[in-house]
Every structure is written in C-alpha cells, then in structure tokens.
C-alpha cells in the first residue's frame, strides 16, 4: 500500500504542473536522490499492480444440478 507520505512525494514529482527533479524532494525530506527514486519506483509498481484487472473466478456448478451420467458403451465384449 502506498502511504500518504510516499503518495505526496510521487504526486509532487510526477503529477504536478511543474515536475520536480529528484534533488528537490530529497532535500525537503533529508534523504538521497537514490532513496527518492527507490520510493518512487515502488509506488509506481504498486499502482500498476492495483490497476491490472482481476481475472474472474471460475463458475462452479450449482449444488442442485444433477451430475452428468458417464458414457456407457454397452457390455464388455468377450474376446
């Protein structure tokens, strides 16, 4: 889950009218540019994972539906 702090960092850097460089949020938060890049990459990864469609669950046969009878090929023949 992307917490509020990470969300604000990604939003300020990528979604604002004037995107910031890695230096600006790093200086504001007192961390390195590399750490900002890592946080940003993780946040984008989480957002992409959540935006993928979830495959539908397989439909199960209703409990009251009668089972199909196995195919019968007649009595076994004698060789």
Q: What is the rounded CA–CA span in Å between residue 17 and residue 13?
A: 9
Alpha carbon distance 58, 49 (integer Å): 22
pTM exceeding the 0.85 threshold for the entire prediction: no
Are 13 and 40 spatial neighbours (Cβ–Cβ below 8 Å)?
yes
The rounded distance, in Å, linking the Cα atoms of 32 and 37 is: 9
Task: Please answer whether residues 10 and 40 qualify as being in contact, where contact means their C-beta atoms are separated by less than 8 angstroms.
Answer: yes
pLDDT digits (tens, 9 = 90+) for 7-58: 776 777 777 778 778 888 888 888 899 988 898 888 888 888 888 787 777 7
Count of other CB atoms within 10 angstroms of residue 9:
22
């Amino acid at each position: 889950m992307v917490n509020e702090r990470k969300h604000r960092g990604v939003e300020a850097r990528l979604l604002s009218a004037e995107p910031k460089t890695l230096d600006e949020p790093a200086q504001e938060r007192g961390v390195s540019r590399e750490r900002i890049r890592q946080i940003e990459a993780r946040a984008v990864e989480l957002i992409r994972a959540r935006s993928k469609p979830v495959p539908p669950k397989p439909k199960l046969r209703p409990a009251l539906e009668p089972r199909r009878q196995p195919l019968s090929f007649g009595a076994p023949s004698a060789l």
